[in-house]
Amino acid sequence: MMIGAVLAISVALLVFLSPTAGAQDDGQSINGTLQYKDDSGERIPVEGVEIVLRDAGGGDLGSVVSGADGTFSLELPGAGDYAASIDVESIPAGVSLRNPDKTELTFNVVDGQSKALAFPMAAGEAGTQEAVSQSAIDSLLRLGMVGIIFGLIIAMCSIGLSLIFGTTGLVNFAHGELVTLGALLTYAFNVGLSWPFLLAAPLAIVLTAGLGGLNDRLLWRPLRARSTGLIAMLVISIGLSILVRYFFLWQFGGRRNPFRQYSLQEPLVELGPISLVPRQVVTIFLSIAVLVAVALVLQRTRFGKAMRAVADNRDLASSSGIDVEQVISYVWISGGALAGLGGILYGLDRGINWDMGFDLLLLIFAAVTLGGLGTAYGALVGSLIIGIMVQVSTYWIPAELKSVSALLVLALILLIRPQGILGQKERIG
């Protein structure tokens, strides 16, 4: 009865995932502020700079000139893909782009969204060796910080996957859908039901955790009881991933949508070239707090010790009086909660999409493998390395190929240390 009720409630909630639910009637637009810091650290607006807007096919949609306060704003004809470029000839003397190569930004907007564009400026003329060198350092620092935030999000998603593998041996390809589920449920409450984000997110995490435990109870535990092989279970997880992912597409649609709150924010923390908006600051501190809490649970609590015992030797743990199935159930619940939280933070920063968890899945697997299969701390270390490499590599290679750099690092480290950074060698035979 309880399981049926939870399933019924979950399906009912998912019907609110339609992109038309709670849609805003406001038009689409772009906006931003052009400014730079002088030697004293004061922000100086840049006036008279022209921003040209084009559609996905390269058609000219008009332009806008920054005002006396450095701001600009331009209405868009509708949702879709666009490109905005800055006319470098209109930049006043004594001011230049921090990265002279980044004169165009491509972006996507959804119904009712106002997109904030950033063209970082700096004092001094472009083209000098000193300016280029400083621009490169600033860009790498900014990308490195974005990579740390991205790595922390991957860490929360990957720790659950690593613990599930450690206790059951299952390589769960459907783990990415738990990541997506957390973001989509939050969207359902926040946009579909117009609940505040700070109320929607915790409830979505609880539901994702519960559905993670339900997933184990209804599917994986019966398969383990029948002694189903790990290869067969891996194939089942792939099928489950495809089924759930396209259910999300059916209900949510193919567009990327934002939450109602916290999409547009002014910088809260500025450290040299690095600017962090409030949601990024919250992501950093919340991620660190959650990861420290996970570490303390693993090391200090009875449940953590039982979980490590099951991961080390399941039969020995069972003979010592540990309820193995109960431990595994708690691992699934914890993994679902962490995956849901990771999906919410990822969606808060980059928008919600029906296959966002699947897009992260390759990087999650890379992080878990790099850190060492079955180790929570290894997943954390691997995630930070993967996150930083993925973002920093976009300085040299197109953003579409950024995942390649992570896989190259994974291959190189595994050639030197096949068990992963914190993994342990195993003797076979």
Q: Are 200 and 310 contained in the same domain?
A: yes
Query: Who's near 144: CB < 8 A, 6+ residues apart?
Result: 388, 391, 392
Q: Are 114 and 147 contained in the same domain?
A: no
Task: Work out the angle at residue 128's Cα, subtended by the Cα atoms of residues 122 and 132, and round it to the nearest 5 degrees.
Answer: 60
Tell me which of 102, 127, 152 is where a domain ends: 127
Q: Are 111 and 187 contained in the same domain?
A: no
Q: Are 291 and 335 contained in the same domain?
A: yes
Q: Are 225 and 344 contained in the same domain?
A: yes
Q: Is 281 within the bounds of a domain?
A: yes
In this structure, what token pair is assigned to residue 411?
């291959």
How much is the pLDDT for 11? 46
Q: Which residue has the tokens 């009881």?
A: 225
How many CB atoms sit inside 10 A of residue 361's CB? 23
Q: Is 62 within the bounds of a domain?
A: yes
HSE, side-chain direction, 13 A CA sphere, residue 316: 8
Q: Are 160 and 226 contained in the same domain?
A: yes
pLDDT tens, position by position, 128-159: 555 556 567 877 888 899 899 999 999 999 98
How much is the pLDDT for 411? 81
Identify the segments of the chain with pLDDT beneath 50: 1-25, 127, 427-429
| Domain extent at residue 237 | 142-416
pLDDT tens, position by position, 284-298: 999 999 999 998 998
How much is the pLDDT for 66? 87
Q: Are 93 and 213 contained in the same domain?
A: no
Burial call 58-80: b when 16+ CB within 10 Å, e when fewer: eeeeebbebeeebebebebeebe
Q: Are 120 and 262 contained in the same domain?
A: no
Q: Is 2 within the bounds of a domain?
A: no
How many CB atoms sit inside 10 A of residue 139's CB? 19
Q: Are 79 and 190 contained in the same domain?
A: no
Q: Is 93 within the bounds of a domain?
A: yes
Q: Is 102 within the bounds of a domain?
A: yes
CA dihedral 162, 238, 16, 188 (to 10 degrees): 20
Q: Is 234 within the bounds of a domain?
A: yes
Q: Is 4 within the bounds of a domain?
A: no
For residue 389, the domain's CATH number is 1.10.3470
Q: Are 328 and 409 contained in the same domain?
A: yes
Amino acid (one-letter) located at 316: L
Q: Are 293 and 348 contained in the same domain?
A: yes
Structural domain total, the chain: 2
Q: Is 15 within the bounds of a domain?
A: no
How many CB atoms sit inside 10 A of residue 8's CB? 10
Tell me which of 104, 127, 150 is where a domain ends: 127
Q: Are 234 and 97 contained in the same domain?
A: no
For residue 34, the domain's CATH number is 2.60.40.10
Task: Work out the angle at residue 56's Cα, subtended by the Cα atoms of residues 55 and 62, and round it to the nearest 5 degrees.
Answer: 10
Task: Report the candidate in 376, 380, 355, 336 with the shortest Cα–Cα distance to residue 154.
Answer: 380
